[in-house]
Structure formats: C-alpha cells, structure tokens
Amino acid sequence: MPRLFVKRLAALASVLLCAHVAIAQSSLSPTPPMGWNSWNHFFQHVTDADVRASADAMVANGMGDAGYVYVNIDDGWQGTRRPDGTIQSNDRFPDMKALADYVHARGLKLGIYSSPGPKTCAKFEGSYGHEAQDAKTYAAWGIDYLKYDLCSFGDKLTVAGNGDQAAPAAFAAQQEAYRKMHDALVAAGRPIVFSLCQYGMSNVWEWGPEVGGHLWRTTGDISDKYDRMALIGFSQAGLSRYAGPGHWNDPDMLEVGNGGMTLDEYRTHMSLWAILAAPLLAGNDLSHMKPEHLAILENKDVIAIDQDSLGKQGDRVSALGPYELWTKPLSHGRTAIALFNRGELAHTMRVNLRELGVPPGAHIRNVWGNADLPFSDIINPIIPKHGVVLLLVTR
Ligand code: GLA
C-alpha cells in the first residue's frame, strides 16, 4: 500500500476515533453523577487500601445497587514525574492500573483528581504543561472521571489578568486551561467525566458546558457543619436554568455520615442536594458507617428525585424568614416539594398544595416519614429545627 494512503487512512481513523469519543464524552452523565470521593474523610492521606475498602463497602452495603458508581480519588495520589514527564502515583498507590481493574471488577468506575496549575491545592503535582500526557496516562490506567481543580492555576490567572483574576484576559486563560484538558481527554480516547472545580468563579455555570464540563463546582468547599452546608446549599437559588442532562451544577460533595451534623441536618443536606439535581458523591468512611447514615444515603425516593430523567434542577419558591419552600419538576408530571426549617426551633409550616399546582387526589409520599400523606389542599407539618419535610407528589 502506498505510504501516503496509509498515512491518510491512519489520520482518518484517528479523526473518527476522536469524533466517536467526543460523542461518547458528551453523552456521559445524563443524570447527576453518583458515587464516593475520598476528600471529605481521608483528605490527602488516602491510600489504595482505603479506595479498595470503599469499593468493597459500596458493593456490600447496597450503595452500588442504589446508583453510587464512581469511586473517586481526590488530591493526594500523585508522586513525581519520570524524566520523560509521565506522572506516577506515590507510595500509597503502588499500581493505579491494578486499582482501576479492582474497582471495575466490582461494577464500579474509578475517578482521579488533578489541577491545571503546576501544583494541586494540597501541593501535589498538577498537570500544567503535561495535559496531553496526563490524559493519556489516565486513559491507560482505566480512569473514568477527572476532577480538575484550579488551585495554583490561580497564580497564572493573576499574571494573565495583570493582577486581576477577574480581568477578561484572566478569564480567557481559565477557559483555555479547562478546554485544553477536555480536548486532551477526548484525544486520549476514553470517555471520562470531566468535573470542573474552580469554586464558582466567573459564573462558571454560564460557560462550563462550552469547555467540556459535565459538572462544575458552584461554591467554595463544604465542611461537616450545618451552617456551612446550609450556606452553600441554599445559596444555589436561581441557578436551576443552568443545569440539565450532561451538565450539572455541583455544590460540592456530601458530608452525610462524617459525624458533624444531626440526622435532621443530614436529611436536609440530602434533600436539598436532590432538589438541586446535584451530584451525589458520598464523602464519609464507607467501611465504618452507622446504619442511620446509610439509610439517608440509600433512601430510594430521595435518590429518584435527584436522578430524575427530566434532569431539571429545582429552585426556591419562597422564603419566609428561615422557612423555605423549594420544588423540583420531575418526569411524568411528578413534583418534589421540600419544606425546610433553617430556624433554631421546631416550626409548623403551612403550605397550600393547590397553589403549587398539586391537583386534588394527588398521591403524596412523605419521603423521610416513609409513608403516604392523605391528600389535603393545606398541609401543616411540624418541621424540626434545621430539618425538612420532603414530599414526592404523583398526579
Ligand atoms: C480544593 C477542592 C476540594 C478538594 C481539595 C483538595 O479545596 O475544592 O474539594 O479537592 O482542593 O486539595
């Protein structure tokens, strides 16, 4: 075969492969990603053994069956680069490919973490100047998800913007950095969910999909405290129009089970994230969890609300002081209604369901009460301090 012909054929095959991966890439995450991430419990001390134990626990405790599929290693896995620039994992992760095989063998997927900057937030090696190489390494290891965290790229933004990270030139540099890794992932030939993490700067929800993001953090970091979780979660009001199948707002990972909130507060956390169509990435130690925390993470109705195929994010309908009413439209004409009490005392909240468009005779399920409510136009449930009543309404 003439050489030129072979070369052209190879070029065509590579274009077709890229197009195929680009299509596969864009159809990833039709519903918000679900899984687990190491950061909120293990921080940068996470090990291969912790990740394997989490994968095992997810299978054993039913989370895998409930829809939690990604097992995501956050910051702290990176070692040094080889002389040719290839990234290596550190001593705590002796063999990434073997770890991916282990996770895949359990029907789960493996995620990893990096930064567009030279260093990650915990000062490990970032991908700056090695984007294509790192994407290829991730693909070769069998990685399925990448969280790409701005961290030290902030310094590059300061330089690009001449001291102002919000300047147009800095904004362009940031978009370029995210697009570059997206293109590198596509070129590497393995569908990989691309999670942008830059804490909601520059209205990322307006341009996240353009740079290839399947989800983007909309806030700074969550912590295992009610005040911080509530500040982040309730600040999402108004962002619903930016989410949809394949592109999700991400108010950060879950803290359920880490021990810093009451059960009512964790139910509020989970309910609000479901109303927000947020990614559900558990962040606790799955190998040592209390049954009551597992029950919150595995509640079928709350998961169905989050994962509804319509892919619409819910939003706030009203706030009367600390008493908030949120709704989320669901497929088949169903609706989720959440009554939140952000106050410091239990409170009776009066809600007119008719005014929310609930027709007479609708079927009303009280999600956390695990029971059906008799239909009535006006409901007056007592909501505990920092608690929630979550209703799933079927016409
Ligand atoms: C940032 C992110 C966190 C976590 C840490 C890791 O703070 O927002 O979610 O990934 O970096 O260093």
Residue 65: count of CB within 10 angstroms of its CB: 11
**pLDDT for residue 13:** 56
155 tagged catalytic: no
- Residue 346, domain member (yes or no): yes
pLDDT digits (tens, 9 = 90+) for 266-298: 999 999 999 999 999 999 999 999 999 999 999
Residue ID of nearest Cα to ligand 1 atom 9: 221
pLDDT digits 0-9 by tens, 6-64:
566 555 555 455 455 555 666 899 999 999 999 999 999 999 999 999 999 999 999 99
Q: What is the mean pLDDT of the chain?
A: 95
pLDDT at 6: 54
Same-domain check for residues 153 and 223: yes
Question: How far is residue 66's CA from residue 108's CA, in Å, rounded to a whole number?
Answer: 12
Catalytic residue among 56, 183, 221, 315: 221
228 in the same domain as 156: yes
Query: What local confidence, expressed as pLDDT, does residue 27 receive?
Result: 85
Of 181-185, 218-222, 289-293, 368-372, the range with the lowest mean pLDDT is 368-372
Q: Is residue 41 part of a domain?
A: yes
288 and 220 in a single domain? The answer is: yes
Nearest atom within ligand 1 for CA of residue 121? 12
Q: How far is CA 178 from the centre of its chain?
A: 17
Distances in Å between the alpha carbon of 61 and those of 37, 110, 179, 367? 16, 18, 38, 21
DSSP letters spanning 253-264: ---TTSSSS-HH
- CATH code of the domain in which 269 resides: 3.20.20.70
Last residue of a domain, one of 307, 324, 341: 307
Active-site pick, 48, 50, 149, 224 = 149
What is the rounded end-to-end Cα distance, in angstroms, of the chain?
A: 66
Average pLDDT estimate for 228-240: 98
Residue 360 confidence (pLDDT): 93
Dist CA 227 CA 276 (whole Å): 18
The answer on 368 and 243 residing in a single domain is no
Phi then psi dihedrals of residue 291, to 5 deg? -55, -35
Amino acid in the structure at residue 26: S
Is 253 inside a domain boundary?
A: yes
Domain that holds residue 351: 315-394
Q: What is the pLDDT of residues 291-323, one digit of tens each?
A: 999 999 999 999 999 999 999 999 999 999 999
Residue 385 burial (CB < 10 Å; 0-12/13-18/19+)?
middle
Q: Is residue 2 part of a domain?
A: no
Spacing, Cα 149 to ligand 1 middle (Å):
7
Reduced to 3 states (helix: H, G, I; strand: E, B; else coil), residue 243 is: coil
Q: Please say if the pLDDT value at position 78 is more than 80.
A: yes
**Residue 325's CATH number:** 2.60.40.1180
CA distance 115 to 128: 7
Q: Quick one: pLDDT at residue 5? A: 57
336 and 302 in a common domain: no
The domain tally of the chain equals 2
Note whether 238 and 334 are same-domain residues: no
Q: Global pTM?
A: 0.95
Which residue blocks in the chain are alpha helix, DSSP H? 3-26, 39-42, 48-60, 63-66, 96-105, 131-141, 153-160, 168-188, 204-207, 226-234, 263-275, 291-298, 300-306
Q: Can you give the pLDDT at residue 67?
A: 98
Q: What is the pLDDT of residues 128-168, one digit of tens each?
A: 999 999 999 999 999 999 999 999 999 999 999 999 998 99
Ligand 1 binding residues, C-beta < 6 A: 39, 74-75, 120-122, 149, 197, 221
